[in-house]
Structure 1
């Protein structure tokens, strides 16, 4: 009568396999949800506002006039949305327009952000205010290969300059009476330390050095999306492989270790099958035992 232990063992094995398959299905489902969230989740957010400087220089001299503009999505139209401005994380009181102009002081250095009614908070834009006679101005410190940018040798209160020289890594690169230097199709050779020298009246002045970096081409959004999808897919495949290895290991561990165990297992299964059959058809026992009784008499 080994049918009682046999059935629970079979049920436990099937239940364990069912639980493993259920766990695998749940993990695959959550992996798919994660992939969709990473690829499409950003589209559900509000468009991000953008702070722009006019003129575009991120370094200015004390008493220069600067205009900050907050721009949102292109489909916002000409409607005037209420705007919040932030300086170094603190809200600027009394400023609710999308742009405002002011004359900078030394206290105006720092990061500026904005947010409109139909946008999320913008990224920070840094504005540096310097007190000096001469300043080398640039629109940013990091550029991508192939970009065009301008360097400007700027004087305090925009006084006239002459005999202007631009330097890169200590070497004179451009002599001109024009205070701007246009660099087109930038590459890695344009990375380095820049400054300018110029005569202000009869006096020669030198600006402080500015470090510029030119990096490789910026990856496109489609390439970034493909990279994210590939990463998520790789994680999903790794999880599946691990689960399959665990299942195979458990199955191998539960299997008989040698032929003797196989024979005993087969014998036990046969006995259990016979016992189960006798319990299911008790009339077969009566038919088999009745002739033996008569022969005995």
Structure 2
């Protein structure tokens, strides 16, 4: 007969209390929130796409999860200022009631996935606000600004300004649209709106201001050539070097190359132009151009001159360099002997 030890009995009969299970779940969730290297990192988006709202507005938050599996069923968790809030669906609808209750950083997460970066929802108490998207604005992005007012008011006239210069005036249109914004369009934007309460006869003008800072999508390209000295028949490699903002790392760029203003290679995803066997006629002033697929942003490099040398020209140049170096060494030796004997 096999006897069972007390420790074996304890291990078979041990059960985790309900309070301990809840505690472990919270610890697991906290660890999960701290992850940064998961394969799935969702993104919180707003509908309508405004980062600042007024009491009485409705906002729908969506947890967008990149996935190769269409319509994959998931359970979602929502957080405000790193604290869990009710909601387990992909979309979370909020009826804005107060600054204290609804302003804050919102995040979402799926089970086993990373938590999203925080997106700030700014609830403002004002008669009029200039609404803008919650995310960073990059060159080439479409941008819509909205001059928004409290409910229960009639709007009379809306004006938009950039750096105190009027850029739009309308009796009915409360939005200002830029299809492809450039960095030069950064600045101080303001809107004014004449509004009238439903139960009052007088009209009052209110305004709001927002500073728009447009970020660089990719740096101006620099053209580079290897090797530094090219002899006819050598392979020549010309590269168009640019740096894409890491937060827009998924943006596809296309590259083109020109010699003396004429296209030698049209737009392509490769940032490199190769000539397997360079010839004298490949010499010239080279530039390269980078653009987005949508062609909303394009930038040209400075010009560099590339000289393809014939072998005899290269040998002559090498001999000249040797003669110059030899002359320098000889002169230094003569000077050394002269001053040595003088001392």
Is TM-score (shorter-chain normalized) higher than 0.5? yes
CA distance in structure 2 between the partners assigned to 1:150 and 1:164 by the alignment:
15
Deviation of the 1:79 alpha carbon: 3.3
Structure 1 stretches lacking a partner, 5+ long: 1-43, 224-297
Question: 1:83-232 counterparts in 2 under 5 A?
Answer: 83-92=76-85, 94-104=86-96, 105-107=98-100, 108-117=102-111, 119-140=113-134, 142-157=136-151, 159-177=153-171, 178-201=173-196, 202-218=202-218, 219=244, 221=249
Provide the C-alpha distance between the structure 1 equivalents of 2:136 and 2:66, rounded to a whole number of angstroms.
24
Contact 2:131/2:148 (8 A) holds in 1: yes
Q: Tell me the secondary structure at the aligned position of residue 184 of structure 2.
A: helix
Aligned to 1:234: none
Give the 3-state SS of the residue equivalent to 1:189 in structure 2: helix
- What TM-score, normalized to structure 2? 0.49
C-alpha distance in structure 2 between counterparts of 1:142 and 1:166, whole Å: 21
1:46 to 39, 47, 50: 39
- My pick for the range that moved more, 206-215 or 106-115, is 206-215
TM-score by length of 1: 0.56
Deviation at 1:160, TM superposition (A): 3.6
Shift in CA distance, 71/222, structure 1 to aligned 2, threshold 3 Å:
closer
Match of 2:61 among 24, 49, 68: 68
- 1:73 and 1:214, CA in 2 relative to 1: closer, same or farther beyond 3 A? same
Give the match for residue 79 of structure 1. 72
Aligned length: 181
User: What is the CA–CA distance in structure 1 between the aligned matches of 2:163 and 2:103, rounded to whole Å?
Assistant: 27
Is contact 1:113–1:125 with CA below 8 Å preserved after alignment? Answer: yes
**Larger strand proportion of the pair:** 2
Query: Which gives a bigger RCO, structure 1 or 2 (Cα 8 Å, sep 6+)?
Result: 1
User: Shift of residue 118 of structure 1?
Assistant: 5.1
- For the aligned residue pairs, the C-alpha RMSD in angstroms reads 2.4
Aligned-partner SS, 2:68: helix
Structure 1 or 2: larger helix share? 1
